[in-house]
Each structure stands twice: as structure tokens, then as C-alpha cells.
């Protein structure tokens, strides 16, 4: 239980705390209302991106454009997947560093990191899995079932 609570604390601190701060908090909830509040705010903000948005509003840029930009921010990936992929290459380095020379180790790590650039997307992997399942089902030839395959009652 203690490990689960500690893990939850780290996730809250390292991920969700950023969503509660500017500029990410502007993209949570009603974006148009958040932009309106930003425009009405009297004091300057310490976040440079939010200050740039505020300056744009002060210069007369339509709030609809700011809302559209913040809507795009909602679509941005908000995970640690990219960092974890790089971490995997570092783990390969630490695991194999005694077995290889410096040059060959650098080449192995480069190939390991480049694998993420050419690997299939999640959708392509699912499609390939379904294709393999169809191939297996076609090999069963259900249209050629004979009497000995039928259950007796």
C-alpha cells in the first residue's frame, strides 16, 4: 500500500502538478472562459508563455485564435514515453558496457535508439496482429469440416 501511495505521489508531482500551472491550466475546462480571465487579469504572470498569450491579447489578436492554439495544446502528448524510450537505450548501455568496446557500444546504442524511428505505429502493429489471426483462421479451413469433426449427441 505504501508503494502505491508513493507512486501516486510521484505521478501527481511530476505529471498532474504541471496541468494545474500556466499555460497548461488554460487548456483545462472551458478554454474560452480561461482566455477571457487571462485578458481581464490585471497583474503580469511569471510564466513566459502565458505572458506572451497575454501580450497577444493586449495587442488585439482575436481571442478565438488564442483559444484555437490552446485547443492544439490539448492534443499534445502528455506522457513520459519519449523519455522512457531513451531510458531503455541507457539501460542497454549499462547492461552491456563491460562486454563491448566504446565504439561498438556507441553503435549498438545508436541502432537501439533508431529503432523507435522505424518501428511500426501502434495501429500498424494491431493491424498486423489481426492479419496474422486471419491467416491462422484461414489455415483451419472451416468449410472443409467432415462428419468425424461433428459432435455426436
87-137 residue pLDDT tens: 776 776 777 677 778 788 778 777 777 776 777 778 888 999 999 998 888
Residues 120 and 105 in one domain: yes
Read off the pTM.
Answer: 0.47
Rounded to whole angstroms, how far apart are CA atoms 132 and 71?
Answer: 38
Chain CA centroid to CA 76, Å: 8
pLDDT at 13: 74
Helices (H), 59-151: 63-75, 81-96, 102-118, 122-140
Rounded to whole angstroms, how far apart are CA atoms 69 and 67?
Answer: 5
Residues 88 and 127 in one domain: yes
* Domain span holding position 91: 81-139
pLDDT at 95: 76
Q: How many domains does the chain have?
A: 2
Would residue 52 count as lying in a domain?
A: yes
Residues 6 and 69 in one domain: yes
Rounded to whole angstroms, how far apart are CA atoms 13 and 21?
Answer: 12
Residues 34 and 49 in one domain: yes
Would residue 86 count as lying in a domain?
A: yes
Query: Residue 38 pLDDT more than 80?
Result: yes
More confident residue, 119 or 61: 61
Residues 66 and 32 in one domain: yes
45-57 residue pLDDT tens: 888 888 999 999 9
Last residue of a domain, one of 39, 55, 75: 75
pLDDT at 78: 65
pLDDT at 115: 73
Would residue 153 count as lying in a domain?
A: no
Angle between helices 48-58 and 31-40 (to 10 degrees): 80
Residues 59 and 107 in one domain: no
Last residue of a domain, one of 25, 41, 75: 75
Last residue of a domain, one of 60, 75, 90: 75
Would residue 144 count as lying in a domain?
A: no
Amino acid at each position: 500500500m505504501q508503494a502505491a501511495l508513493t507512486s501516486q505521489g510521484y505521478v501527481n508531482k511530476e505529471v498532474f502538478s504541471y496541468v494545474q500551472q500556466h499555460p497548461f491550466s488554460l487548456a483545462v475546462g472551458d478554454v474560452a472562459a480561461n482566455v477571457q480571465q487571462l485578458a481581464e487579469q490585471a497583474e503580469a504572470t511569471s510564466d513566459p508563455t502565458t505572458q506572451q498569450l497575454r501580450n497577444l491579447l493586449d495587442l488585439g489578436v482575436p481571442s478565438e485564435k488564442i483559444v484555437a492554439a490552446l485547443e492544439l495544446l490539448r492534443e499534445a502528448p502528455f506522457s513520459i514515453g519519449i523519455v522512457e524510450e531513451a531510458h531503455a537505450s541507457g539501460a542497454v548501455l549499462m547492461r552491456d558496457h563491460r562486454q563491448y568496446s566504446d565504439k561498438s557500444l556507441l553503435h549498438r546504442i545508436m541502432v537501439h535508439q533508431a529503432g523507435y524511428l522505424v518501428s511500426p505505429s501502434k495501429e500498424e502493429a494491431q493491424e498486423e496482429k489481426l492479419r496474422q489471426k486471419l491467416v491462422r483462421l484461414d489455415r483451419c479451413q472451416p468449410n472443409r469440416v467432415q462428419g468425424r469433426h461433428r459432435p455426436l449427441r
